[in-house]
């Protein structure tokens, strides 16, 4: 073998090694620094989307996020927060994104960019199981409403306060709203159907019932980032969501907590 032949073989070998090394690099991993760790908020008390059990957070949001991050190869730190503080934290740059059972609304789109919707989540009216007075929206007149700060349920109560002569009490989390209805401090609460469905499922005493299934057309929940920022993170979320739906992992996670037709 002469010098010229040896040079050609070496060049071909180098080219092949280069191509092979490129095969293992995805678009996602090459576009995000290896040491990048995203800060992503979840709602601190929002079963079945996110809740603490034995010192660990679990739920639909928490487990879908973990599956998507694994699929797309990005790292993150979970930041449990009160829901009302999440969008302000995104806008202030304190967190990179939110996976917090957040309904996609036109108003919120003014502040944040949303992913594709990952679960349908319409709001319902819930009362004590013993309450037989409330069975429709017309029955809300003069009643005491429990709502969570910053939610679509709070917006519904505020928008209809005059119409139904509502007395509104605000709470930081969902368990506090349920407790208020249970104790008689509120006549009803407004909450997303998946939360209600899960609460009734795990409530062996049957303290609650759904009085009005849907107060409006059910929107989707979305993953949120600051408007005009973090497009890579948003793109990775959408791509990962698509993949875990195709693999069946999405149904496996959601099915632990809710009927899959919801």
Are residues 103 and 229 located together in one domain of the fold?
yes
Are residues 147 and 113 located together in one domain of the fold?
no
The confidence score (pLDDT) of residue 215 equals 87
C-alpha to C-alpha distance for 45 and 57, rounded to whole angstroms: 10
Are residues 97 and 170 located together in one domain of the fold?
no
- pLDDT bin (cut points 50, 70, 90) of residue 236 is very high
20 is a domain residue: no
How many other CB atoms are found less than 10 A from the CB of residue 256?
12
176 is a domain residue: yes
10 is a domain residue: no
Domain count, the chain: 2
45 is a domain residue: yes
Is the Cβ–Cβ distance between 61 and 99 less than 8 Å? Answer: yes
208 is a domain residue: yes
185 is a domain residue: yes
The confidence score (pLDDT) of residue 195 equals 87
Nearest to 136 by CA among 183, 188, 182, 180: 188
**CATH for 83:** 3.40.190.10
Comparison of pLDDT for 214 and 77, the residue scoring more: 77
Are residues 127 and 207 located together in one domain of the fold?
yes
Q: Which domain holds residue 202?
A: 123-212
List, for residues 29-75, the tens digit of each pLDDT value: 446 777 899 999 999 999 999 999 999 999 999 999 999 999 999 99
Nearest to 165 by CA among 180, 187, 195, 197: 187
110 is a domain residue: yes
Are residues 109 and 236 located together in one domain of the fold?
yes
Are residues 97 and 135 located together in one domain of the fold?
no
- Please say if the pLDDT value at position 160 is more than 90: yes
The confidence score (pLDDT) of residue 23 equals 40
42 is a domain residue: yes
- pLDDT bin (cut points 50, 70, 90) of residue 11 is low
Is the Cβ–Cβ distance between 102 and 193 less than 8 Å? Answer: no
C-alpha to C-alpha distance for 9 and 20, rounded to whole angstroms: 17
Provide the whole-model pTM.
Answer: 0.75
Comparison of pLDDT for 11 and 92, the residue scoring more: 92
Over pLDDT 90: what percentage of the chain?
72
List, for residues 172-204, the tens digit of each pLDDT value: 998 999 999 999 999 999 998 888 888 877 876
- Please say if the pLDDT value at position 249 is more than 80: yes
The confidence score (pLDDT) of residue 8 equals 47
């Amino acid at each position: 073998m002469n010098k010229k032949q040896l040079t050609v073989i070496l060049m071909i070998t180098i080219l092949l090694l280069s191509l092979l090394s490129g095969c293992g690099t995805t678009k996602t991993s090459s576009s995000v620094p290896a040491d990048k760790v995203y800060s992503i908020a979840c709602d601190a008390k929002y079963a079945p989307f996110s809740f603490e059990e034995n010192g660990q957070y679990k739920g639909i949001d928490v487990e879908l996020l973990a599956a998507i991050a694994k699929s797309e190869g990005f790292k993150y730190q979970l930041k449990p927060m009160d829901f009302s503080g999440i969008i302000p934290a995104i806008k202030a740059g304190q967190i990179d994104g939110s996976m917090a059972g957040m309904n996609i609304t036109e108003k919120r789109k003014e502040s944040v960019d949303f992913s594709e919707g990952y679960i349908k989540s319409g709001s319902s009216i819930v009362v004590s199981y013993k309450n037989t007075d409330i069975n429709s929206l017309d029955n809300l007149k003069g009643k005491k409403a429990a709502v969570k700060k910053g939610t679509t349920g709070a917006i519904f109560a505020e928008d209809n306060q005059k119409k139904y002569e509502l007395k509104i009490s605000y709470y930081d989390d969902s368990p506090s709203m349920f407790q208020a209805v249970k104790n008689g401090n509120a006549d009803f609460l407004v909450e997303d159907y998946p939360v209600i469905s899960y609460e009734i499922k795990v409530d062996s005493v049957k303290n609650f019932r759904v009085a009005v299934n849907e107060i409006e057309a059910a929107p989707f929940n979305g993953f949120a980032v600051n408007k005009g920022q973090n497009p890579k993170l948003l793109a990775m979320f959408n791509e990962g969501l698509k993949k875990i739906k195709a693999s069946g992992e999405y149904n496996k996670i959601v099915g632990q907590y809710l009927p899959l037709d919801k």
